[in-house]
Structure 1
């Protein structure tokens, strides 16, 4: 998919919108999509292009965090974007770039998705210099009207939270609003990436001994982060002599003051400030830690909590709605109310068994799954697909071609793409399909479902053409080789039966004839037909009708005379036993076997038993003479001949004619 992302803020800017856009771009590209970014830069010159990033000149609004506002009219870029053949536009702002995005979407005839990042009603004070409630009310109403206008001009709208969605619904936006929290790259925090040498280095840097737990904070060192609350709590940690050390990673205006407070409370052995660390190594500190803590009540997303939990760290926090779904008391971490309760919570953590800690770590990894960039990507793609489906909702019949029992209908979409669907004649009439008729996407979906039935029926025809099949064979084929539901399968089977393409009686009759020619007995034939799903009634009727008693005797004798010559080196008695077994396995009844066995042509075997026995004795002699001598050799030969069914007296008669050496190798 080719996607155009339109945003009025992008790298090297650092803010929430940029983070969201960068995560989105990386996720899309990682999954093979082609992404183009249209953004701004402060200047009044021409459009700049850096690989897949287009930067439009604009005016920087320093009072609004350095955002750049650009003109919505850049006609030369519209032509260039048209050549890219974008599938969809995703816009992340409402003004300037946002208006331009809507112009491009309409011009290129493609869907537009918008993400509502900013609650503009919280920014009306920028134009309410006199702080008059009447002006604020008018401004908020204007925001609502503009938000509705921009929302309704989008194919789909994305809100980062339920709170934002509720606000948009309050504005009475008609477009579908999907809640998709901003995703984060959680893989880099995964415990599987932990490197023992890095953990050792970090703990040495912090002065943490092997038996001491590491409690981590990552973030700005500022008043609203309430790190002083944690320091106050560590006074009791020291009193209780808990084996844990608080490590603070980050910089900010309160760093020096908090360091002084730590010294004042003589907590240098319990608290260490590491200062700023580059973003590429922060994950190593999470992975080196044993738990995470933050007393902040000013979070908007709780990103550091998510990063900590993604590192399988139990977290300590004060109750706040923003993290209610992340910090589950006793499951993913602990809530502390004030300084003294912190030591109590830490003590609970230190007393956890290995199994309890493992469960808490597993739960931590589970609760952050919705925030993973891969989950974010999946949700975004659902919105994209929904948007495309809504936009591409009409198809026109281009051509209809006949083929056997079905027709192939060619549809063209709004962008001239063709879709060919196989349907039966009944569906063609039912939907009134003919050239140039327009149908909706719902009809296309229904026809595609019907196509799977048509293709399955066609596959059945191809199998039946090769050879006859039983009802069960075709049923098994449809259940194992297709994803059709039972109702569709039954309908196909019924249609095949109505057309006489499958007929178990006819099938059974044909198989009995063929297997009879192969000299198989009734029992074996019946067993085969039963395996093919033929009913007992049909089997009995066909077998009794097609196999006459005299035919069974005849075939049994033919089979016996055919295989008797394959039984060699056995006595006449043993040869009869083995022949009976073969006939039984071939499916002939005991009564038939008993009648036929005396009619079998055994040749001169019954008259030349002594010659056969001599051959068997010689064979046994060759087998055992290298191992045995004398009486042991004689006994082994005797035993071997006896097992071949020869009479005892005949064996002794032959053995007595031979000379034996009493010496034995054994």
Structure 2
């Protein structure tokens, strides 16, 4: 399937939406689907398209976490998206790119799926600066109306939690709402980088006797970090060996630092600031527990990330956390500073066995949020959305043609389509008149047909000569409009049936080059062109005994030397040297090879060759110059440049002048 993920925020940004989009992208690609990202960048003029990521012009709003707003109209980008031939658009934003996604889906007739990541009603304080109840009430009514408008065009809406679904139903959204929690790349959170952890411990003075809590996320009013700081201050009164790491940035940064100072705990609270996404996991691993007091999460990815690292989670009760943060099993729930202090003291004083049990519980709970399951659940939604958009197709006719193909005719509620299929596809899918098929099934059938045609052509090419998997992949890319997954299917099939065997090809090619008396560099150059790794080639060639390699080079040198009929001895050796280098022998061994040449080219033969060279040169220079001395000087310089010995040149020149 060809999938477009449209989002206002993408790497290198660090937030929950980016985590969700990137996790989904990687998981879908791992399942063999083609994923395209459409996002924006802080530039009013530039549009870039690289590695399946289309970045559109936008304006950075620094007062809103650096959020980038872009126009919903991009005529040039729409042409690029049309060329992507998307099966479905999945939009992760409501404004900017989100509006453009809805426009693109409508104009290009592509099914649309929306994920509702943000509870906007929890952010109305940004427009209600005076805190008026009437403004807050009107803002929430506006959020509900806008949400209905944004989801109206979608075939299906994805909510990351039951809490979000309930909220959307309260907005009177009539679309089907599917609850799919965002998954995680669990392996990423289970890996520990010892050097990075030591570096963080040293920087923040984290020692074994200190219990470390960590908060990771935006520093903003709706995240209730002030509650976290107050709770830690309460705990320090009973357990002074406590440290809080606050990782992230946002508009409340200065206000929170002032709060920590006012409470007299600035030595216990480290404001780390924003960190790179690949560094975030290390802050979980250096900590004993994760803490957050936010009640505005649609799912709470950071809570699940903490569990995936095996650490305890302290949180306030909230619907998205139901069944995830289980009190005294995977963490502790608190509703007041006093309750937090009581439970945190209990946690600090737990035995190693109790800590290990909570560690195991955390990992077990996180394991239910794997990225593959996340992708499979979303794919089910895509398939359903495509069926809702296009309707089901009914097979109305199947006709057998003379060329071994079949004509398949299907009807939908809006159109009739015809497909040309080979016997192999018809037998494999067991298609009959009256069968119903989805748009996805039809696309898969077309993909199967393309793969089958590519496989048949590949067999014909292999009948002419052997191919490596790399060469055949390149050939298929040039001949067919196939995805990388389809090409891999063809290659795997050819390998399975032993029409392609890279190991055998490698051995045969090395043996062939050695039989042709070629050097290792020539072998390396040839095999790298055919897709083999240079390091692996060098490692394989290094296993040949040096004496055998020298003997091969000597035989090549001797054979070539024997074909040279004239020239000076130096000239002959230079020609052999150049020949060996062209054949792939290294400079380091050429001199050694030259020493092995059996040279039967005696002085008389060299003198005879010199006489002929001087005769021709004298005639050539005589036609250009009047002075005999000038002709002689030019001839001498010429033959010396050919490598002849000076005394021999002098002798032959004197004889030539005497005869003349």
TM-score, structure 1 as length reference: 0.52
Higher alpha-carbon Rg? 1
Unaligned 5+ residue runs, structure 2?
446-660
Per-residue CA distance 1:127-146 (angstroms, 9 max, x = gap):
89999999987876665555
Deviation of 1:364 (Å): 0.8
Residues of 1 paired with 2:340 and 2:130: CA distance? 45
Corresponding residue number in structure 1 for 2:33: 33
Deviation of 1:386 (Å): 2.2
Corresponding residue number in structure 2 for 1:168: 168
Q: State whether residues 236 and 340 of structure 1, in contact with CA within 8 Å, keep that contact through their aligned partners in structure 2.
A: no
Deviation of 1:154 (Å): 1.7
Residues of 2 paired with 1:335 and 1:173: CA distance? 32
Corresponding residue number in structure 2 for 1:358: 356
Corresponding residue number in structure 2 for 1:23: 23
Corresponding residue number in structure 1 for 2:71: 70
Corresponding residue number in structure 2 for 1:385: 383
- Other structure's SS at 1:70 match: coil
Q: State whether residues 296 and 318 of structure 1, in contact with CA within 8 Å, keep that contact through their aligned partners in structure 2.
A: yes
Per-residue CA distance 1:590-635 (angstroms, 9 max, x = gap):
xxxxxxxxxxxxxxxxxxxxxxxxxxxxxxxxxxxxxxxxxxxxxx
Q: 1:226 aligns with which of 222, 225, 228?
A: 228
Residues of 1 paired with 2:125 and 2:294: CA distance? 26
Residues of 2 paired with 1:216 and 1:326: CA distance? 19
Q: State whether residues 162 and 320 of structure 2, in contact with CA within 8 Å, keep that contact through their aligned partners in structure 1.
A: no
Q: State whether residues 119 and 297 of structure 2, in contact with CA within 8 Å, keep that contact through their aligned partners in structure 1.
A: no
Q: Does 1:159 align with 2:156?
A: no
1:64/1:398 CA distance change after superposition, 3 Å: farther
Residues of 2 paired with 1:45 and 1:101: CA distance? 20
Residues of 2 paired with 1:289 and 1:150: CA distance? 40
Q: Does 1:214 align with 2:211?
A: yes
Q: Does 1:114 align with 2:111?
A: no
Q: 2:275 aligns with which of 266, 275, 278?
A: 278
Corresponding residue number in structure 1 for 2:596: none
Residues of 1 paired with 2:272 and 2:25: CA distance? 31
Q: 1:288 aligns with which of 286, 289, 299?
A: 286
- Other structure's SS at 1:253 match: helix
Unaligned 5+ residue runs, structure 1?
239-243, 403-407, 449-666
Q: State whether residues 164 and 298 of structure 2, in contact with CA within 8 Å, keep that contact through their aligned partners in structure 1.
A: no
Residues of 2 paired with 1:254 and 1:125: CA distance? 16
Deviation of 1:21 (Å): 2.9
- Other structure's SS at 1:384 match: helix
TM-score, structure 2 as length reference: 0.52
Deviation of 1:178 (Å): 1.0
Corresponding residue number in structure 2 for 1:486: none
Per-residue CA distance 1:539-580 (angstroms, 9 max, x = gap):
xxxxxxxxxxxxxxxxxxxxxxxxxxxxxxxxxxxxxxxxxx
Q: 1:374 aligns with which of 343, 367, 372?
A: 372
Deviation of 1:440 (Å): 5.7
Q: State whether residues 82 and 108 of structure 1, in contact with CA within 8 Å, keep that contact through their aligned partners in structure 2.
A: yes
Deviation of 1:331 (Å): 0.8
Residues of 1 paired with 2:131 and 2:342: CA distance? 46
Corresponding residue number in structure 1 for 2:313: 315
Corresponding residue number in structure 2 for 1:349: 347
Corresponding residue number in structure 2 for 1:327: 325
How many residue pairs end up in the alignment? 420
Q: State whether residues 122 and 296 of structure 2, in contact with CA within 8 Å, keep that contact through their aligned partners in structure 1.
A: no
Deviation of 1:312 (Å): 0.9
Per-residue CA distance 1:450-474 (angstroms, 9 max, x = gap):
xxxxxxxxxxxxxxxxxxxxxxxxx
Per-residue CA distance 1:399-432 (angstroms, 9 max, x = gap):
2459xxxxx994558775567656999x97xxxx
Q: State whether residues 183 and 373 of structure 1, in contact with CA within 8 Å, keep that contact through their aligned partners in structure 2.
A: yes
Corresponding residue number in structure 1 for 2:237: 235
Corresponding residue number in structure 2 for 1:405: none
Deviation of 1:384 (Å): 1.6
Q: State whether residues 151 and 175 of structure 1, in contact with CA within 8 Å, keep that contact through their aligned partners in structure 2.
A: yes
Q: State whether residues 233 and 338 of structure 1, in contact with CA within 8 Å, keep that contact through their aligned partners in structure 2.
A: no
1:273/1:250 CA distance change after superposition, 3 Å: same
Residues of 1 paired with 2:129 and 2:337: CA distance? 41
Deviation of 1:70 (Å): 1.2
1:320/1:399 CA distance change after superposition, 3 Å: closer
- Other structure's SS at 1:194 match: coil
RMSD: 4.6
Per-residue CA distance 1:498-539 (angstroms, 9 max, x = gap):
xxxxxxxxxxxxxxxxxxxxxxxxxxxxxxxxxxxxxxxxxx
1:141/1:277 CA distance change after superposition, 3 Å: closer
Residues of 2 paired with 1:139 and 1:334: CA distance? 34
